[in-house]
A and B are shown apart, each in its own frame.
Chain A
Amino acid sequence: MAAEEHAEGATLNIHPMDQFQIHSLFGDGPVHWYTPTNVTLWLFIAVAAIVLLMVIATRGRNVVPSRGQSVAEMIYSFVRGMIVDITGEGGLKYFPYIMTLFLLILFTNVLGLLPYSFTVTSHIAVTGVLAMAVFTAVTLLGFIKNGTKFLKIFWISEAPLVLRPILAIIEIISYFVRPVSHSIRLAGNMMAGHAVIKVFAGFAAVLAAGTPLGVGLVAPIVAIMAVYGLELLVVVIQAYVFTILTCVYLNDALHPGH
């Protein structure tokens, strides 16, 4: 992104990062911790969308589901299947929180693709809190469930004895890097794709003005369509990745032997 900003000149006036700015919804005052901002707005829109799909669409409790209800059921079965596959039936105790994570990330990601919207999950403050919450909870859970046996996840008993201390150091480092990679993966993916779309949109404006009849507009628009299609895939996959990694970490806490 630095390259694009250096390339800015008199004709190229692209601000791909503007879309990530946080501002107060009412007035221009400073952003206090309680100020309603565009973060608040889009989080609440996401909550409303979750209620619309998961609560209002399922209100009929039909044995033969309506379209909305079958989507809600699909999400339910998908997340439940993921937990059971990775952590076994024991992980279903944490189904509500994992479902909360998946729904909130999925909806904020998808809503962020609307034009003029704001992507909450493109901020590392948000994804960092989500990842640290998972990291802290899983670490505490590991010690509560297994006591000091939880430390076995760092001591690879299958490896030759001489290698074990070295592996232990690597395992410990990778364990503490987890929340970092967990959060930056999500925020980075959201930010990069949206910024790229914005850059192409800037090109479109420049080319529309700089070519006869604005025919130069076609190339950036086609590029935006392609990136947008890719982004649709990415936002869903990133929500899935965040959730499945949470399950994997949870499995470590529940079954440190493996």
Chain B
Amino acid sequence: MASETSGEAVGMPQLDFSTFPNQIFWLVVSLVVVYFIVSKVILPRIGGVLEERHSVISDYISQAADFKKQAEQAEADYEAALAQARGEAQAIAAETKAEIQVELNKAVAKADAEIAAKTAESEKAIAVVRESAVENVREVALATTAGIVAALMPSVSDDAAVKKAVTARMKG
């Protein structure tokens, strides 16, 4: 390679040792500058940003967990309120039913009493009617018997005996 001398480059410029001090000097200068910038500015800044982002995200996650807990709490409260309302409604229904039952019982008792009174009255009326009917039958029987006896055996007509016989017969 080094034998080629035409053109501007003499062999490999990489092997031209006369430029080495220059390259090394400027490389070291750049390295020091970049090292300074990296260690003083770049790493603290980006490290800080990443850390902050991490903490912001975990904050949001814990906030979300809080909200979820609140939502669950609200649901539980709602369920509890619903159950209470249902219980109250049932209690009111039972109470109302009991009141109605009491009034119903009262009404039934009154009605029963009235019915009993009417029945007693009717029975009394029936007894009166029956008694008068028996009396009528006895009179008819007496008259009929007396007639039959007078017609069949006029000689032995005796009102007292007839009366006595008819009464005995009716009792039997």
> Which residues of A are in contact with B by a Cβ distance under 8 Å?
1-2, 5, 8, 13, 15, 17-18, 20-22, 30-35, 37, 39-40, 43-44, 46-47, 50-51, 54-55, 58, 61-63, 65, 69, 72-73, 76-77, 95-97, 99-100, 103-104, 120, 122-126, 129-130, 187, 191
Contact = CB atoms under 8 A, between A and B. Distances in A.
Contact of B43 (A1, A13, A95, A123): A95
A95 B11 CA distance: 39
Interface stretch (B28-36, B70-78, B93-101, B110-118): B28-36
Contacts of A104: 30-31, 34
A46 B31 CA distance: 11
A40 B16 CA distance: 17
B49 A63 contact: yes
Interface residues of B, number: 43
Nearest to A101: B31
A18 B9 contact: yes
Nearest to A17: B9
B123 to A, nearest CB: 102
B14 A103 contact: no
A54 B44 CA distance: 11
Interface string B26-69: 11111101110111011101111110110010000000000000
A20 B50 contact: no
A210 to B, nearest CB: 21
* 8 A-B pairs closest in CB distance: A33-B21, A96-B39, A17-B9, A43-B30, A20-B13, A15-B7, A125-B23, A76-B46
Contact of B56 (A35, A44, A63): A63
Interface of B: 1, 4, 6-9, 11-14, 16, 18-31, 33-35, 37-39, 41-43, 45-50, 52-53, 56
Contacts of A126: 23-24, 27
By DSSP majority rule, is chain B's interface helix, strand, loop, or mixed?
helix
B14 to A, nearest CB: 5
A100 B23 contact: no
A22 to B, nearest CB: 4
A39 B21 CA distance: 12
16 contacts: A5-B1, A20-B14, A21-B9, A34-B22, A39-B22, A40-B26, A43-B27, A50-B37, A54-B41, A55-B45, A58-B45, A61-B52, A62-B49, A73-B49, A125-B23, A191-B14
B30 A22 contact: no
A51 B42 CA distance: 9
Contacts of A17: 9, 11-13
Contacts of A33: 21-22, 24-25
Given A20-B13, A104-B31, A37 B43 contact: no
Highest count of chain A CB atoms <10 Å: which of B23, B24, B25, B33: B23
